[in-house]
Chain A
Amino acid sequence: GAVVSQHPSWVICKSGTSVKIECRSLDFQATTMFWYRQFPKQSLMLMATSNEGSKATYEQGVEKDKFLINHASLTLSTLTVTSAHPEDSSFYICSAPDQGETQYFGPGTRLLVL
């Protein structure tokens, strides 16, 4: 099946710094990618839809200036958490659909803000 990678898998940063997370579709092109956030023992919460060549679409309640998304190519989307604070600590997962209706998920990035 299709493979989606994320980098880094773990990141620890100081409060106030910015962190960039990359999501890549390795063997297929994705005009759309999705970014999720998952708190411990909870389900995935969709944050935004990343659209290649255009602006991302954010879900209600998600600060677009806080979570910057760039989808510069058909295989790469990036999520930048700006001025991170401890409450931003979470597990961030991206996904990309193949040409059908199936979403393929990355392995996730665990962010810890101190």
Chain B
Amino acid sequence: AQSVTQLDSQVPVFEEAPVELRCNYSSSVSVYLFWYVQYPNQGLQLLLKYLSGSTLVKGINGFEAEFNKSQTSFHLRKPSVHISDTAEYFCAVSAPPDKYIFGTGTRLKVLA
């Protein structure tokens, strides 16, 4: 079985500062990894995904993530955040044909 851990429940950061949201996973088989963003009262929007190939994945809105197999991590980063990046961020893992397993989410709060 797979599991996902997002250690930081909340991350406050000042506007234009860099941010890293941490995600660690556990699995005995190869997995696919995803980051989703959720704005208030909305569904989830895919930010980026790692299926195979290059371990550095670039997504929308200037976000990127790096798959690190040895550390079983898939941390999300952005070099300069905006107020509009304030949202809930979910890391997810899947090992086909199994379903998605979501982390508990990290609330990113960008401060002016």
Contact = CB atoms under 8 A, between A and B. Distances in A.
Interface centre among A91, A101, A107 (most CB of B within 10 A): A101
Interface in B87-105: 90, 92, 94, 96, 99-100, 102-105
B44 interface: yes
* Contact size range, A: 20 to 34
A103 B47 CA distance: 12
B43 A102 contact: no
Interface stretch (A14-22, A43-51, A76-84): A43-51
B7 interface: no
B45 A44 contact: no
Contact of A49 (B96, B99, B107): B99
B109 interface: no
Given A44-B90, A101-B32, A102-B34, A107 B42 contact: yes
A108 B104 contact: no
A41 B44 CA distance: 14
Interface of A: 1, 4, 6, 34, 41-44, 46, 49, 91, 93, 95, 100-108, 110
